[in-house]
Structure 1
Amino acid sequence: MNQNTRIRKYFIWLFWIAVWQAANMLIHNNIIFVGPVDMVKALLELVRDSSFWASVFNSFAKISIGFLGAFILSILLGCLAYAVPLVKDLLEPMMMLIKSVPVASFVILALIWIGSHNLAVFTSFLVVVPMIYVSTLSGLEHTDRKLLEMAMVFRMPLLKQVRYIYIPAVLPYLISGCRTALGMSWKSGVAAEVIGIPEGSIGEQLYYSKLYLDTAGLFAWTFVIIIASAVFERLFLYLLGKVKH
């Protein structure tokens, strides 16, 4: 990204922040809508409290565990479905069911089965599994057949086939799937926390912000979610991109 493009992006962000502040001044009701200045003030108050960092760490850890568990399992299932067509046929209805059922239904079932403590882990796990599974399977099914035939002719060991043929073929699909799955894991995980209200979580803080009509606090916590999600996404995709080197 060149300097002109970077400066242009900064001005675009400043423009929308100015629009946001103008909308706040026009509405002139901080219970209904707050501006960036009020949000920053609320955020500065939050970061001084040790419980803020505990809530962020707690939710970050649980959503990350749910995502990483789903990521590993989905890749294994995708490879198994590619190798054994019967497994693919057996998994297809289950993956369609998981994609179709609303998150709220999973959350209510999870509250009955496991309680609220690990709700974010369970929900983010379920939401991510079909996305990564489909990406893995699509990448494997679109592997260059000529390269596979060449590998068979030269009797290339399976591990080398995986490293030099399958991984380069799957990685673009996996990265694309992860871009969507990472965001969805955070959205579903925090939504589950808002419904289940587990103690010491971001979802609990969002719920109380709504309960006490603390709109500035609600905006501040939403900003925290966006930043935490973006940091996790950048870090994970960076590490995933290193796989091909």
Structure 2
Amino acid sequence: MAFTRFDRLMIASVPGRSTLIWSGISAVSFLLLWSFVSIIVDSPLILPSPLSTLERFAIIITGKSFIRIIASSGLRILGSFSIALFTGIAFGIPAGIWLRFEQLLSAPMRVMRAVPTMGIILLSLIWLDSEGAPYLVCALVILPLLYGGMVSSIRSIDSDLRDLHRIYEIPFLRKVLKFYLPAVLPSFRGSLAAALGLNVKVMIAAEVLSQPSIAIGTSFQIARAQLDTAGVFAWCFIVILMSSALDALLKILLPAAPEESLRNRTSKSEE
């Protein structure tokens, strides 16, 4: 029976039985260890039990403002990520093609990589209000990662193919849309996933300090001020679930090649 490309992709994306078993063992072990340590500590202020955290989690997600909080922070995350992504692509493609252009941008990119995240957050709070500062913070933090990933992906394209497109004098915009972007997508996918995960964490940190009116970071700050440790833990799990959902969405929008998925799964099973 012959499998189509879609069939192979779906088969490769289904986790193996051993993976599910070991993931379950890991989760149960973590919960048991957490419960044991919380009993020893015997202080909900320092380490609440899993049960109390679950109860606080249920209260939070059933609250009237929960959807608004998630939607508000989610839009900030996607908005700042989109700004950094388009900027990284716009500057990364020509920098990958022309060495002089990369050298021209090397100084500002080096500065953005070296400046501490806290410094960027504080400067953003000086320049912008509490609603706009998180956008600037996340865009500046993840831009070098996306830019560097795009440059490396462009450089990984076969030089013969690049020379072929140069010989036939194809318009630059058409080359970008029809050749460069499809060619770099497999290698650029890793940079996208890493940047998206980092963006979630940086956005929450920026919200904690800037405290927009409705935000996950503001909810963290309120829980801390009220000494609600279980609430802080609950919001941590909410952020983990949000990050996992965004990562899953990215995999759906940009699925790995079936051959790559099968190869990765085979190597894991051999280990």
TM-score between both structures, scaled by the size of structure 1? 0.90
1:127, distance to aligned residue in structure 2 (A): 1.2
Equivalent residue runs for 1:36-185 within 5 Å: 36-151=50-165, 155=168, 157=170, 162=176, 165-185=179-199
| Aligned position for 1:187 | 201
Give the Å deviation of 1:5.
2.5
Judge conservation of contact 2:193–2:250 (CA < 8 Å) in 1: no
Pairwise CA distance, 1:217: 0.3
Q: Which amino acid aligns with 2:158?
A: D
Displaced runs of 4 or more, over 2 A: 82-87, 146-153, 155-169, 240-244
Contact 1:148/1:165 (<8 A) preserved: no
Which among 226, 234, 238 is matched to residue 240 of structure 2?
226
Q: Say whether 1:212 aligns with 2:222.
A: no
Q: Distance in 2 between matches of 1:70 and 1:90?
A: 19
**Structure 2 unaligned residues grouped into runs of 5+:** 1-14, 259-271
1:196-233 Cα offsets, whole Å, 9 max, x none, are 11111111111111111100000011111111111112
Query: Which consecutive residues of structure 1, in runs of 5 or more, have no partner in the other structure?
Result: none
Distance across 2 between alignment mates of 1:96 and 1:150: 33
Aligned CA-pair RMSD:
2.3
Displacement after TM superposition at 1:71 (Å): 0.6
Q: Does 1:240 align with 2:266?
A: no
213-222 or 22-31: bigger deviation: 22-31
**In 2: Cα distance, 1:67 partner to 1:152 partner:** 32
TM-score (norm 2): 0.82
Alpha-carbon distance in 2 for matches of 1:18, 1:197: 35
Q: Does the 8 A contact of 1:67 with 1:124 survive in 2?
A: yes
Cα distance change on mapping 1:90 and 1:152 into 2, 3 Å: closer
Q: Which residue of 2 aligns with 1:201?
A: 215
